[in-house]
Amino acid sequence: MNLFPIAVAIVPNFIPLNFTPMKPRILLFLFSLSFFTSFAQTNTLDSAWVRDNYYKWERMIPMRDGKKLFTAIYIPKDTTEKHPILMRRTPYSAAPYGETNFPDAFWNTYYRLYLRENYIMVVQDVRGRYMSEGEFEDVRPFNPAKKGTDFDEASDTYDAIDWLVKNVPGNNNRVGVFGISYPGFYSTMAALSGHPALKAVSPQAPVTDWFQGDDFHHNGAFMLMDAFAFYSGFGKPRRTPTTRSADGYPIPGADNYDFYLRTGTLHDFARLAGDSIRFWKDLYSHPTYDEWWRARNTRNFVENIPASTSTLVVGGLFDAEDLFGAWNLYKAIDSKAKNNNRIVMGPWFHGQWGGRGDGSILGNVRFGSKTSEWYQNNVEVPFFNANLKDKGDAKKIAEATVFFTGENNWHQLPQWPPAGSAAQNLYLQANGALNWNKPGAGNAYTQYTSDPAKPVPYTEDVHMGRTREYMTDDQRFASRRPDVLVFQTPVLDNDVTLAGPLYADLFAALSTTDADFVVKLVDVFPDDFKYGEDKSSGMANGTYPMSGYHMLVRGEIMRGKFRKSFESPSPFTPGKVEEVKFYLPDVAHTFKKGHRIMVQVQSSWFPLVDRNPQKFVNIYEASAADFQKADIKIYHSSQYPSCIVLPVLK
């Protein structure tokens, strides 16, 4: 899903050193700085060069059921050798339309690297979107038993590739597919197509599971702000093929917290959305993880990826939309498929690596180098060159190329999680303490009251659109609220590096029958911390006070009623202590010596997530009368040792 699509033909739709050596027993390798220049970008390519060296076709490519899909094809004029095809399938428009029009992304982004290599660049409107025929279906399920004219997104990709290799002049019969966000979903579907010419696929920030972790639900909690902002426009039906997009709901004012709170229940948002948006009604019709959702979870089908198709999964450590999808699609492919599979995770917001910013900063936090450019030059382009042009050696690209924030270094790893990573419990303690020892005697719990009428905001700023920077935002504003519990370690005597999956394991008792649980892992900077001037980027000291900064490293929510099963929700028994354990997407972060580790616990995150009435009901049908305060006790005793389970790298 992409909240801020850019209507260009090829560039993905975006929403986007100080060296500290690791301990010698860890099997990892740091990229050498000299390798950075091996695929250095050239900035000499401009619009005149593109028009002088490329021409464009627009074709309606037939599918097996007779429908035709609009496809823009950019073909190099060079005939000295045959060229590979690099394709992106998108629901966000193959603009600019017209055979004399070229996307400025060809000369304004790293796509210039592909044009310098004389790739045949292809972008296609998926079935039912913009200029393509047929009916659009969101995350159309993969059908492994297709017969005759049966179709899905994998077969549409197969048919498109088959036409391209047979009809586009000068191609070398090798095809790659890539895309960010929703196009990342279509990339996964391409990998499932099984076409023999498809040699390399890169699903990037891929939509993977819209109930457990991507975009519209996290652990069953409805991500209201993203869903409404996106589907109020994107979800409107297209009557006939068109080059125009639909407008979203005209939200008044500039304060999203106020708008979403005033609007009220999910029933009220359904009224605003209207009756024409089919997928909005589908969301409401499937409030649990039923077969409808399982059919739309691409991880359930990746064993169908053939060994001949290499995959490169890419994601951002601070992607507010599809962080779950990147980590977990990679893991699914790695465990189920028999192909060459790799992952890259950088310090990026959604799509940042694809050309929106250089990846040196997010919000107030700096990463010490131009990480996006480094990835483009040293991983993505070499991946496609090796698989589609026999240029370079794909074996030089590590299994896992991961940027560790905090220390601000790229690591090249033979596996993810690294072999030296092991789960270690960091226990919540009385009086806001946090340490590695299991709690003993003392206060058994800490209590707060969660009031749906005054939910905890996800950021302290006033704005309308959901920010991407909240993923690293300063959390001091939240720690000052009485409905947010704060636990922190003493100042660290040594670095603590985390590499792998993160879990919250809470023991809680409620005064009501349901509640949400938000757990945030926070890096507390020293009181005397400040950034120096970065001469390489021209970045001087910022105006934001970084002394004592509370950097959000990872935050996630769990809808309490799904604590035992996403398929079969169950109420809490008031007053009974129950375990609530859930996954927070993987982390790659070093808490530096002199910092502190902090954990915050709360029960709302608004308007990022819809409000839980704190009553065991179908929240999509809840009325205003169902919303009630809840007294919540988080236990930290020897019998009920709440903790956060950290993947500590030894």
What confidence tens digit (pLDDT) does each residue in 365-420 have? Answer: 999 999 999 999 999 999 999 999 999 998 899 999 999 999 999 999 999 999 99
Examine the domain organization and report whether 393 and 449 are in the same domain.
no
CB burial string 326-361: b at 16+ within 10 A, e below: bbbbbbbbbeebebbbbbbbbbbbbbbbbbbbbbbb
Domain boundary among 229, 261, 292: 292
Beta strands 516-524 and 550-559, pairing class: antiparallel
Examine the domain organization and report whether 200 and 279 are in the same domain.
no
| H helix intervals, 38-152 | 47-53, 105-108, 111-116
Examine the domain organization and report whether 186 and 253 are in the same domain.
no
Examine the domain organization and report whether 589 and 618 are in the same domain.
yes
Q: Answer whether residue 91 shows pLDDT above 90.
A: yes
| H helix intervals, 264-380 | 266-273, 278-285, 291-294, 323-336, 371-375
Calpha distance 585→598 (Å, rounded): 17
Examine the domain organization and report whether 253 and 239 are in the same domain.
yes
Calpha distance 617→452 (Å, rounded): 15
Q: Answer whether residue 607 shows pLDDT above 70.
A: yes
What band does 540 get if pLDDT is binned at 50, 70 and 90? very low
AA letter at 453: A
Residue 23 resides in a domain: no
**pLDDT at residue 40 in the model:** 46
500-512 pLDDT per residue, tens: 999 999 999 999 9
**pLDDT at residue 292 in the model:** 98
Q: Answer whether residue 218 shows pLDDT above 80.
A: yes
Examine the domain organization and report whether 429 and 455 are in the same domain.
yes
Specify the number of domains making up the chain.
3
Examine the domain organization and report whether 316 and 430 are in the same domain.
no
| Out of 7-16, 134-143, 611-620, least confident range | 7-16
AA letter at 22: M
Q: What mean pLDDT is reported for the chain?
A: 92
Domain boundary among 235, 260, 292: 292
Examine the domain organization and report whether 187 and 326 are in the same domain.
yes
For the segment 36-44, the average pLDDT, to the nearest whole number, is: 46
| Out of 17-26, 78-87, 374-383, least confident range | 17-26
Considering the chain, what percentage of its residues have pLDDT values greater than 90?
89
**pLDDT at residue 541 in the model:** 52
Residue 7 resides in a domain: no
**pLDDT at residue 441 in the model:** 73
Q: Answer whether residue 153 shows pLDDT above 90.
A: yes
Examine the domain organization and report whether 327 and 432 are in the same domain.
no
**pLDDT at residue 308 in the model:** 97
CATH number at residue 640: 2.60.120.260
Examine the domain organization and report whether 248 and 370 are in the same domain.
no
Domain boundary among 257, 292, 327: 292
Q: Answer whether residue 579 shows pLDDT above 80.
A: yes
CATH number at residue 371: 3.40.50.1820
What band does 23 get if pLDDT is binned at 50, 70 and 90? very low
Examine the domain organization and report whether 596 and 471 are in the same domain.
yes
Q: Which residues contact 524 (CB under 8 A, 6 or more apart)?
A: 488, 548, 549, 550, 551, 595, 596, 597, 598
What band does 542 get if pLDDT is binned at 50, 70 and 90? low
CATH number at residue 259: 1.10.3020.10
Residue 405 resides in a domain: yes
Examine the domain organization and report whether 401 and 438 are in the same domain.
no
Full domain range(s) for residue 343: 33-209+296-413
For the segment 560-579, the average pLDDT, to the nearest whole number, is: 98
